Amino acid sequence: MTINLFFVALLALLLGMYGYFTPSYPPSQSAGEIAKIELMDFTLYEVSKKGIDHILEGKEGKKFDEYYTVTSAKFSDNTKELFQTIHSRNVEYRNDVIDLKENVHYIREDGLEFRSNNAKYETKKSLISVNDHFVITQKSNRIDGANLIYNNQRDTVSAENAQVRYQLK
């Protein structure tokens, strides 16, 4: 009987030690989505038989299941008639729509420039829309306004409260 008592006491001691030394983890907080790919200070090139079609540069890029995010983004497009580049501090790309947030700056090869704080660019339709104040300049011409819709394929602009300064040659 004493041997049984010894093993019971040993078992109780081992179970007590296991309970005392087992690490206790705090309840994990859901971190939301986890990026599948993360890039830091990167440049991505999309190359075809014609040459370089697109260039994407950024400070930090993350690929999730259904969208991408990029900070300090610069996207260059060489597939259109005129080479074009768009910069923004924060970008989210989802369902062929690029949501540009903070310091949006669009530059086209012919000197057309566009600035705004926020914008959406629908890549399939080549349509830029802004629900905020914007400025478009080309050489000495300037358009200030709000609620812009710019169709890059048709080269048409519609806006509200537009003030236009146009220099005749």
Long-range contacts of 41-48 (CB under 8 A, 24+ apart): none
User: pTM of the full predicted structure?
Assistant: 0.70
Tens digits of per-residue pLDDT, 28-73? 555 577 888 899 999 989 998 888 888 989 999 999 888 889 999 9
Cross-sheet strand order for the sheet of 127-138:
37-48, 51-63, 68-77, 84-94, 97-108, 112-122, 127-138, 141-151, 156-165
pLDDT category at 78 given cuts 50, 70, 90 is confident
C-alpha 11/C-alpha 5 separation (Å) is: 10
Q: What three-state secondary structure class fits 83?
A: coil
CB atoms under 10 Å from CB of 63, counted, come to: 15
CATH 1.10.150.120 fits 37-165, yes or no: no
